[in-house]
Structure 1
Amino acid sequence: MNQKIESQKAPAAIGPYSQAIKAENTIYISGQLPIDATTGEFAGNDIKSQTKQSLENIKAVLAEVEADMSDVVKTTVLMKNIADFGDMNEVYANYFTGTCPARAAYQVAALPKDALVEIEAIAVIK
Structure 2
Amino acid sequence: MKKIINTENAPAPIGPYSQSTLAGNTLYVSGQIAIVPGSDQIMLDSIEEETHQVMKNMGAILEAAGTSYSNVVKCSIFVSDMGNFGKINAVYGEYFSSNPPARETVEVSCLPKNVNVEISCIAVL
Q: What TM-score do you get using the length of structure 2 for normalisation?
A: 0.97
Aligned to 1:22: 22
Q: Are 2:106 and 1:111 aligned?
A: no
Deviation at 1:47, TM superposition (A): 1.2
Aligned to 2:76: 76
RMSD: 0.9
Match of 2:99, SS state, is coil
Instruction: Indicate conservation of the 8 Å contact 2:72/2:124, yes or no.
Output: yes
Amino acid at match of 1:115: V
* Sequence identity (%): 39
Deviation at 1:45, TM superposition (A): 3.0
Gaps of 5+ in 2: none
Query: What count of residue pairs does the alignment treat as equivalent?
Result: 125
Instruction: Indicate conservation of the 8 Å contact 1:46/1:116, yes or no.
Output: no
Gaps of 5+ in 1: none
Aligned to 1:58: 58
Q: What TM-score do you get using the length of structure 1 for normalisation?
A: 0.96
CA offsets, 1:83-117, max 9 Å, x none? Answer: 00000011001000221000100110000100010
